[in-house]
A = this chain, B = another copy of it.
Amino acid sequence: MFRPARLDVTGIGNAIVDIIAQTDDAFLARHTIAKGGMTLIDAAAATHLYGAMGPGVETSGGSAANTIAGMAALGGKVAFIGKVQRDQLGEVFAHDLRALGVEYETPASHSESPTGRCLILVTPDAQRSMNTFLGAGQELRPQDVDPATVEAASITYLEGYLWDPPHAKDAFCKAMDIAHKAERLVAMSLSDAFCVERYREEFQHLVAGGIDILFANETEIMSLYQTTSFDAALQAVRGKCAIAALTRSEKGSVIVAGDEVHVIDAVKPRTLLDTTGAGDMFAAGFMYGLTHGRALAGSARIGALAASEVIAHLGPRPQSDMKALLQKSGL
């Protein structure tokens, strides 16, 4: 499927550190937080919400960054492009990628904005509700996209969340152009149903006109095509891009590629604690599979395996030896 490449995937996304606290539904209601979604908040709101929420655990996050970290943990060759500040959280973010062997060379910001953070509230049903202050992530610009890092990768992976900062969508489009000119594939995640609401038309154009591999969950793909039926959404996306990988939580995933449709079971987690990162890890496993000679169904099974690991603990990135887990699974 792929001609030789130095990198399997280059990911571009908002550089975010997660601050995760367990809470209850009453807290979400009191603070009018949209359960299961990602809400953008400003610095003042972040300070206010942080003051109100319980003690946290900090871990590097960011949707595409999680996917890249997951791929590195599986043994993939990967790079990441995203913007942090020269502060302690920025150091943590950069360390956590480089420690996994991820190429991460985006210059840190020179502005006043601190590194972006996401206040994640996890309820007893393992659902996560995200409140993101983008901070220095706002400053990602096209010049941050190093052409060589994109050209070198079999797949360039972009998150839909890049539509939120003012110049990041230009970085997204620049990367897409470079990748296609180098005859590489472009993958995109729809990120979040609210994000799809904000940019539906642009996302529809993107999916129809340049994205080779689309990742979306059930809610996101139904929102994209404004339908309440998953099957209708599936029919709508079929043919618009070469591969659509649609995830449905415990109902597993459906991979659509032209006439091919694969229905793949979810892998039951050891325990279900925090669904943060489930979609990101599915994408990591799926792209690891594709770039390592697996067929569509096998790739989706690796995605399901990676997702099952991450939802068994707090935090959006693997805490287990993923290479060992993959080997043990026989996938």
Collect the chain B residues with CB atoms within 8 Å of residue A92's CB. 19, 56, 58
Q: Are A59 and B58 in contact (CB under 8 A)?
A: yes
Chain B residues whose CB sits within 8 angstroms of the CB of A60 once the complex forms:
55
Q: How far is the CB of A23 from chain B (nearest CB, A)?
A: 11
Q: In the bound complex, do residue B99 and residue A53 qualify as a contact, i.e. CB atoms below 8 Å apart?
A: yes
The answer to whether A319 and B22 have CB atoms under 8 Å apart is: yes
Q: CB-CB < 8 A to A314: which residues of B?
A: 313, 319
Q: 1/0 per position for A71-103, CB-CB distance to B under 8 A? A: 000000000000000011100100111011000
Complex interface bits, A306-320 against B, C-beta within 8 A gives 1, otherwise 0? 000000011101010
Contact for A100 among B55, B59, B114, B315, CB less than 8 A: B55
Q: What are 16 inter-chain pairs, A to B, with CB distance below 8 A? A: A21-B99, A22-B319, A55-B60, A55-B96, A55-B97, A55-B99, A55-B100, A55-B317, A56-B59, A57-B57, A58-B58, A58-B92, A87-B87, A88-B88, A88-B114, A314-B319
Nearest CB of chain B from residue A62's CB, rounded to whole Å: 13
With a cutoff of 8 Å between Cβ atoms, the chain B residues found around residue A95 in the complex are: 50-51, 55-56
**Chain A count of residues within 8 A CB distance of the other chain:** 29
Specify which chain B residues have a CB less than 8 angstroms from the CB of A166 in the assembled complex. Answer: none
Binary CB contact string for chain A from 269 to 297 against chain B (1 if under 8 A, 0 otherwise): 00000000000000000000000000000
Give the distance in Å from the alpha carbon of A135 to the alpha carbon of B189 in the complex: 41
The answer, yes or no, to whether A175 is at the interface (CB within 8 Å) is no
Q: State how many angstroms separate the Cβ of A317 from the closest Cβ of chain B.
A: 7
Question: Smallest CB-CB separation from A114: which chain B residue?
Answer: B88
Within 8 A of B (CB), among A215-234: none
Asked whether B315 lies within 8 Å of A57 as measured between CB atoms, the reply is yes
A54 proximal to B (CB < 8 A)? yes
Chain A stretch 1-44: residues in CB contact (< 8 A) with chain B = 19, 21-22
Q: How far is the CA of A22 from the CA of B92 in the complex (A)?
A: 16
Inter-chain CA distance A54–B19, complex, in Å, is 19
The 8 closest A-B CB pairs, nearest first, are A58-B58, A55-B96, A88-B88, A55-B99, A54-B99, A57-B59, A88-B89, A55-B100
Please name the residue on chain B nearest to A88 by beta carbon: B88
Q: What's the nearest-Cβ distance from chain B to residue A72, in Å? A: 9
